[in-house]
Structure 1
């Protein structure tokens, strides 16, 4: 009988990295906390919330003490917690800089949900604050820690598709609650583009390893729909990559949920559908030899993200998706909004280095044999 593969046991809690989860919304409760509980290198040590009773309820369910729960006003009390080495910011976009700054002053390392800030200028200030404080900053681009996305990247960059010519990505969903913070310009900084459209933008940059040279965009903001009084309903944009490679992207808060990624080369094509969901990703690669559908052992995107950052906290190396990676997305999104406003192509600063804004590569689960 073949031997069963050895499963690496979790690192003892005394050597794992303790996180404080800042913000107990849907993402934290349904995805982050469960992922951290099954993590090999990380664990939840504290919770920070605007609703103390809610926080205490979750803390007790997690086996934490009532004293492990803090309000936003008490955030600085974490400075005396040596077991809290990192914080994970899960707040409206407009609050990222405030809480990252407060965490950095306490000497805590920081993971922040995307987008990092409200625009490129705001995001750069966040990066500068963390550098000055000497703490690590990672943007939570979970797709860059997914084996499926890395397999797509390998196919694109490894020549499986031949010379890449065209890319296409769509991420749309219906946002039907007019009261959510994502539809408020002062809290979100924009509509679907910085929320779900950023997945297309960031993933295209990731799979190619290149940066666009120009953008062209249009947006739609219906006047009679009260959901979109402050932000756009949809954005369509083109990205021009080196050597004439072009990408088309669409994002919206007004269309039924769809998330896809397609890459077309002169010798093959690649499709991810769905491409950006938390689980159930599907990848197919078609060439003249036939169709390949890579599969992987079960994994949790957020768990991989947690553990990558924990490893960087331990070795002090730059995480794969540092703040600079987010700043570049903001630079491009700012250009997209400018193009949509002016109706003109907006040229971007030339970046020739591959993976120019990324750090240490993550360790990923292997593909199934």
Structure 2
């Protein structure tokens, strides 16, 4: 990873973000991350609750006129202090708010998953390209030091050739009314919400794309939570170099967030892997005929601040983000292939690019 700025930029030199969608993630994670950042600043809030928005504006030093309702979203075009929007809305709204931001000349940082379909993702990329603005998907794990340490260990061959990968990401969703359990709003079940962390991070660590996927889903009969989306999915990915990956995700099992890669000379992984903080990297290898397990520790900066500042740097220096729209689009292609496999009960073959990191931009 590149060396971070030693000193924060002055407020007037920073990229101004409008946060679009002020829910739990925005209030508990992203607003504090903007305070911890070095290149970014809060410039506006877009919310359905104007009074709550004004409360947060006071807390973070914004004037009340910097709080917008969704009906006023397009007025951001008249705010020169807003250089980019960070879209933190339900998945089915990502395309509309991205396309409208592009038309306003605002750069777009969009939460994952990028959209509910490949077609939506393609339109988002096309709109940003036509408007000359940048589009980045918020894959925070690709900006975090522990994940980069695993990636470098794997890609430099320090444990020999990787042969197998496993990952589990599950949690309990107990509210049948949760939008993540509605197909129209979410686009799918745990695969697109939390399973995508396993999918995306394995691609990132290996730097490669799968050539074949196979998936199975299950939903408990008569459980009101899973009338529209899967309860759980298990899937396999085969890569062109022979690596096999096995992943599990679900909405009715106790929280787990981990992955591990098995190589000829040892294994390495994170547990927890996808949490906002407290990540732990473990490494196992043989010494003197016995397996030795050690934990590697790294500084743990704010993950959201890292991705915000990377996008800000890309805007300031006219660089392609490390996780551009094309990276999000590739995940959507794989998601659609996995659902197709689950429906048919058959593997789905895929075209994989010849070069590593085919869909990524400038290293963070």
Q: TM-score when scaled to structure 1? A: 0.95
CA distance in 1, matches of 2:45, 2:329: 27
Partner of 2:257, secondary structure, is strand
In angstroms, what is the RMSD of aligned CA positions?
Answer: 1.2
CA contact under 8 A between 1:160 and 1:268: conserved in structure 2? Answer: no
Counterpart pick for 2:70 among 69, 72, 84: 72
Residue of structure 2 equivalent to 1:351: 353
CA distance in 2, matches of 1:112, 1:275: 21
Residue of structure 1 equivalent to 2:175: 177
Residue of structure 2 equivalent to 1:361: 363
CA distance in 1, matches of 2:184, 2:19: 23
TM superposition shift of 1:262: 0.5
CA distance in 2, matches of 1:353, 1:243: 12
Residue of structure 1 equivalent to 2:279: 281
Unaligned runs of 5+ in 2: none
CA contact under 8 A between 1:212 and 1:240: conserved in structure 2? Answer: yes
Residue of structure 2 equivalent to 1:188: 186
CA distance in 2, matches of 1:235, 1:119: 18
CA contact under 8 A between 2:277 and 2:300: conserved in structure 1? Answer: no
Counterpart pick for 2:330 among 320, 328, 331: 328
Moved more, 97-106 or 344-353: 344-353
TM superposition shift of 1:10: 1.1
Unaligned runs of 5+ in 1: 1-5, 363-369
Residue of structure 2 equivalent to 1:62: 60
Residue of structure 2 equivalent to 1:48: 46
CA contact under 8 A between 1:262 and 1:269: conserved in structure 2? Answer: yes
- Cα deviations across residues 78-104 of structure 1 (Å, max 9, x unaligned)? 111111101000000000000001100
Partner of 2:256, secondary structure, is strand
Residue of structure 1 equivalent to 2:113: 115
Change over 3 Å in CA distance of 1:7–1:244 after alignment to 2: closer
| 4+ runs deviating over 6 angstroms | none
CA contact under 8 A between 2:261 and 2:269: conserved in structure 1? Answer: yes
Question: Are 2:221 and 1:219 equivalent residues in the alignment?
Answer: no
Q: TM-score when scaled to structure 2? A: 0.96
- Cα deviations across residues 237-274 of structure 1 (Å, max 9, x unaligned)? 00001122100000000100001111000111012100
Partner of 2:71, secondary structure, is coil
Query: Residues 196-207 of structure 1 correspond to what in structure 2 (within 5 A)?
Result: 196-207=194-205
